[in-house]
Amino acid sequence: MTVPTETQVPDNPHKLRLRQLRPQDFEDVRTIWQEVYKGLGGLFRLTRDKYRQQIARFPEGQLCIEDKGRVVAVALAMIVDYQNFGDEHTYAEITDNCTLSTHDPNGDVLYGVDVFIHPDYRGMRLGRRLYDARKELCRKFNLKAIIAGGRIPNYHQYADSLSPEEYIEKVGNKELYDPVLSFQLSNDFKVGKILTGYLPEDNESAGYATLLKWINYDFQARERPLVGGVKTNVRVGAVQWQMRRVESLDDLLQQVEYFIDALADYQADFALLPEFFNVPLMGEFPLDTPTAEAMRLLASEFTPPVCEAIARMAVHYNINIIAGSLPQMDEGEMYNVAYLFRRDGTWETQYKLHITPTEHRLWNMRGGHHLRVFNTDAGKIGILICYDCEFPELGRLLMDQGLQILFIPFWTETKNGYQRVRYCAQARAIENECYVVMSGSVGNLPRLDNVNIQYAQSAVLTPSDFSFPHDATLAETTPNTEMLLITDLELDKLKRLRHQGGVRNYKDRRHDLYRVEWIENDHAEES
C-alpha cells in the first residue's frame, strides 16, 4: 500500500464550523443579508444596533456557520409566548422590526426569525445543518414547537393562474419547486395556514407567507408540582420596621421572627425587610466607638449570625425572605448587601452598586459590580437597594432579563429623601412594566451617631394602565408607623400589559437610536 505524501493530499477548500454569532461577525452577516434580500427594504435593513440587540436578547438562538473564519450562513431565532400573538401576526409585530424585543425567556415556542445563506454556498446543505441546530435548541429549552413565517418566493410566477393555497399544495406534492417552501417541507415542517400581509414588501411572494410548524415530540409538559411550582398569583409582604433600641442579638431576631411568622400565617410568598434593619445592634458597642469602626464591627460580629437565623426562618416558615440589606466585609472592604433567602434553603446576594456620599464618607463603603435577576418559585425578581433605584439603567437591564417583581429595601431620614426613592421606584414600575415592592424603617436611635432618625412609607407600586390601580399604587402603609403591608400580585397582568397595554414601553423602545447594556468587567464575583 502506498502512503500518499503531503503533496499528494489535496487541500480541503472548506473548513465549516457551527457556532453562535458574535458581535464582530456583523459585517459578514450584513454582506449575506444584503445579497439575499436585495430589492427588499424597510424591515430588511439590518443595522449594527439591531444586530447587537438580537445577540443580546437571546445569544443561544443566533447561530451561524463559518468557513475558515468567515460567516457564510445564518439562522436567527427567539422564544415567544405564542398565545400573545396567535396565528394572525406579521413579521414586524412578532419580531418587533427584527430587534427581538419580543423575546420571552418564559415562552413556549421557538420562533424562526430568519435563515439566510451566502449564494456561493447554496447546494451545500448548510440550511439543513442550521435547521437541525434549531431543533436541538427547541429540545434543549423544552419548547413545544418551532414556528416560523415562510416566504414563497416563486409564487409570483404562478400568481395569475394559482391561488396561494393551490400553489402550496402543488409544492407539497412536488409538482412545483419553491426554494424556501420545498426546503422547509423536506425538514419536517408542516404548513398550518396562509398569512396575508406577513411581509408586505415581499413582492416575489405577493405578500403571502406560510405559517410553518415543527412539533417537538420530546416536549415535557411543565406541570406545576404540589410543592415548588412557579406561581402566577403572588402574595408579598413588606415590613415597615421600627428602629428601636435592642438589648441583644436575640432581641433583634425575635422582632424579625415576629413579622416573618405573621406573614407566614397569611401565606405570603415574599417578606421584605428594610435596608440596614440590623443597625440597632450598633448599640452593643461602647458609645465612643467611631462610626466607621462600629459599622465594621456590625458587619463582622452580627451579619453572619443574622443571616444564619433568617435563612432558617425562610425554610421553617416556608417564605422567601429579602433580608433588607446588611453591612458585609469582603476581602477587607465594606459593602452594603441584600440577601435573598429562599424557602428551599438556597440563598443569593445583591450588592448595592451606588454608594451614597454618606455611606462612603462615614463608613468607607464600596459599590458592588454585579446585577442579577433571581429565579424563585414565585417569579423572577430583582433587588435594588435604596439609592440604586434612582438609576434607571439598572431597572432596564433587569427588565431585559425577565424581571417581574422589583424589591427595594430603603432607609431615608427625611421626607425629601424618601420622595426621591418613592418617585424613582414608581418610574421603574411604569417604564419596566413590573411590580415594585419597597420597604423602609421608621422611628429613631438617639444613642447612635448618624443613624438617629427615619422617615418611611412603604408601598407596592404598579404600572399605570387600565388593569392596574388608577394611581399606580396597589397598597401603601401609614407614614412613620410600624406595620405590615400585605397584598397580592397578578403576574399574568404584566404579560398582557406588554402586548395589549395603552402604551408599550418595553416594545416601543427605539433600538435604532439608543440602547442600555452592561459593560463586562474584570471584578471578582461577589460571594
Positions annotated as catalytic residues are 275, 352, 386
Instruction: Tell me how crowded residue 2 is: count the other CB atoms within 10 A of its CB.
Output: 5
Q: Round to whole Å and give the CA distance between 165 and 159.
A: 11
Q: Round to whole Å and give the CA distance between 264 and 248.
A: 25
Q: Round to whole Å and give the CA distance between 462 and 438.
A: 12
Q: Nine-digit cell at 462? A: 404598579
* Cβ(155)–Cβ(182) below 8 Å: no
> Dihedral of the CA atoms 412, 417, 418, 420 (nearest 10)?
-130
- Give 65's strand partners: 18, 73
Locate the DSSP E strands across 201-354.
Answer: 208-215, 233-243, 270-272, 320-322, 326-330, 333-341, 347-351
Cβ within 8 Å of residue 83, ≥6 positions away: none
Residue tagged 415543527 (cell numbers): 214
* Cβ(349)–Cβ(339) below 8 Å: yes
* Cβ(459)–Cβ(477) below 8 Å: yes
Strand 145-150 relative to strand 109-117, pairing: parallel
Residue tagged 415574599 (cell numbers): 270
Which segments of 40-197 does DSSP mark as H helices, in order?
A: 48-57, 91-95, 126-140, 164-172, 181-186
Q: Nine-digit cell at 413? A: 431620614
Q: Nine-digit cell at 198? A: 406577513
CA nearest neighbour of 339 among 291, 280, 379, 299: 299
Question: Can you state the percent helix, strand and coil of the chain, rounding each to 5?
Answer: 35, 25, 40
Q: Round to whole Å and give the CA distance between 391 and 353.
A: 10
DSSP state of 361: H
Strand order in 374-376's β-sheet? Answer: 374-376, 379-383, 405-409, 435-439, 459-461, 473-476
